Chain A
Amino acid sequence: MSREKDTTYEVPIGPIHPALKEPFLIKFKLKGEEIVDAEPFPGMNHRGIEFMGMHRNPMEVIPLSERICGICSIVHQHMFTTATEHALSIEPTNRARYIRTIMCELERIHSHILWAGVAAHEIGFDTHLHFTWKIREKVMDLLEYIAGNRVNYSMWTFGGVRRDITEEMYPKIFETLEYYENLYEKLEEIFLEDPSIKLRTRGVGVLTKKDALELCGVGPTVRASGVKKDVRIDQPYAAYGDLDLDYVIPSRYGFENKGDVFCKTVVRLKELLQSVDIIKKCVEQMPEGEITSEPKKAALLNKLGKSAGEGIGRIEAPRGEAIHYVRLSEERDDVDCWKIRASTYNNLSTYAPMFMGEQIADIPLIAASIDPCIGCMDRAEIIDINRGEVQSYTKEELHELSVKKTKQITKGGVE
């Protein structure tokens, strides 16, 4: 890059952040206010999870697997257990399948509400952040009621689950679902009808259907562009095969499949409603029977240590498809090989076309739009290549820029 002619700036954003995102680095190239290139640099949060997993027996890996990500803890333990079950041909009981589905969907509810709050915060509506996080506590309560912990439940085991959802729990489950059904209209009013939010989200961070397909994005990020991709339907796991599901894409609800932040919001909100429906159906159709097909722990451990095989676990996480690959061998008690591919990894590559041509003030919102499990905005440096000056932006300043933009386009109408 020659210093004389090139007038682009480089803005590294990361890897420390104040609020809730993980360490992560993205480098932006800017022409004035306009973003011309974006390149993610993962690896700040590398903890060597796969390596550790390969030095523990499968039972010990379950608690480790859910600590890959504290938001999708169910997702990872589900994939690891199903991959191992696949390797050893263990069949989970029918009842366990339903309980797993219910838990997965409860997690989707909390994750999507969390996302809505973060998005509102990035636009500058902290009232909505607090509102969404307040309503999120309701599902956290339910998760704690069922699983005994607010996050990281360790509820899965090979062949089923450890905790039952009994009939006494139904009223509380239905009450929570009803709570969200009643609130749904309000959420829609805030995120889909509010003129200032619409101004900030419509046409911003567009991911075309072509790009979405070429870059192999997953989950709500690409469904917003009209790509019909959902593991729950394409390759049903747990009890999803018994349910009648349809792809949540914006055109189903009378919106255009534009792939902008607005469409991503539509998809996430509609999925919230879909999750509520799924849980209701699962509770109603819950089959009788045992919650695990391998109730004897010692026998199970023995089996895990002595048998060989390889398997794959796939799931539609709140952020999109994720995969675990597990191989077990007869010689070792420990997991022989463990490979994880999480959804954010795919979605990161969609950043480049989404950021292209947008403004610095839109960075926080677009970055949040894929619901990254990593991503940080704490400190950004702008290097003026022409002058060789370094200018620093903190996350706060970036956030302020974003808030300022909201104010500008609403002509000061926002508080």
Chain B
Amino acid sequence: MDLSKTFDKALWVFHMNSGSCNACDIEIVAAITPRYDAERFGIKLVGSPRHADVLLFTGPVTTKMKDRVLRVYEQTPNPKVVLIIGNCGDTTGVFFDSYAIEGPIDTLLPEDAHIIYVNGCPVRPENIINGVKEAWIYLEKLRGDDK
């Protein structure tokens, strides 16, 4: 999959909560507001997975949200990167022994999904920006035209 040059400096991100405790979600918003201002790097939160290049998943995936997680993943156009925000998305964290948890997310996604883990409970906004940067580096390597 080749990306065009116009892709540069325009990384669109869709955030989905699959049953997290909200802390990581709030930190994601904190990352786009003035103190951390991720938007100055061209990172933008969008309202639909169909517009997104990067998926931010938080939470350990509750039973009710499982199908929705997969649907959101499928709806996102290729090439895409999945960013798993927070320990509970990574390993289900403190929620590990619950009956209502289907996660962690990476066990549900297809094998070839490109996943970046951003750790912390909750993660710090700086760390989220760093994660998005890594996604960026990965996606920019896919650029097709003059490099």
Cross-chain contact of A23 among B18, B23, B24, B121 (Cβ < 8 A): B18
Residues in B neighbouring A16, C-beta threshold 8 A: 16-17, 68, 72
Please tell me if the beta carbons of B28 and A20 are within 8 angstroms of each other in the complex: yes
Query: Cβ of A48 and Cβ of B17 under 8 Å apart?
Result: no
A15-B68, A16-B68, A67-B21 as given contacts; A44 in contact with B62, CB under 8 Å: yes
Within 8 Å of chain A (Cβ to Cβ): is B70? no
CA distance A399 to B46 in the complex (A): 12
Note all chain B residues with C-beta closer than 8 A to A64. 94
Which residue of B is nearest A398, CB measured? B47
A interface SS class: loop
Q: Which residues of B contact A21 (CB under 8 A)?
A: 17, 25
Q: Bound complex: CA of A71 vs CA of B20, how far in Å?
A: 12
Which residue of B16, B19, B27, B47 is within 8 Å of A45 (Cβ)? B19
How far apart sit A52 and B100, CA to CA, in the bound complex (Å)?
Answer: 10
Q: Is B97 an interface residue (CB 8 A)?
A: yes
Known: A23-B19, A70-B21. Contact between A48 and B29, CB under 8 A?
no
B108 CB, min distance to chain A CBs, angstroms: 15
Which of chain A's residues 131-164 have a Cβ closer than 8 Å to chain B?
Answer: 131, 133-134, 136-137, 140, 149-152
Using Cβ atoms and an 8 Å threshold, which residues of chain A touch B45? 18-19
A76, chain B: closest CB distance, angstroms: 10
Q: Does B26 contact A (CB under 8 A)?
A: yes
Which A residues lie within 8 Å of B16 (CB)? Answer: 16
When the two chains form their complex, are residues A20 and B72 in contact, meaning their CB atoms are under 8 A apart? Answer: no
A130 within 8 A of B: yes
A152 and B23 CA atoms in complex are apart in Å by 8
Q: Contacts A45-B62, A130-B33 given: A20-B122 contact, CB under 8 Å?
A: no
27 contacts between A and B (CB under 8 A): A16-B17, A19-B15, A19-B29, A19-B45, A20-B26, A43-B64, A45-B19, A48-B99, A48-B100, A49-B98, A63-B94, A67-B95, A70-B20, A70-B25, A70-B26, A129-B33, A130-B34, A133-B29, A133-B35, A136-B30, A137-B34, A137-B35, A151-B26, A151-B122, A152-B23, A152-B122, A399-B47
Q: Which residues of A contact B23 (CB under 8 A)?
A: 67, 70-71, 73, 151-152
Interchain nearest-CB distance for A377 vs B (Å): 9
Report chain B residues within 8 Å CB of A68.
21
Q: What residue of chain B has the Cβ atom nearest to residue A144's Cβ?
A: B124
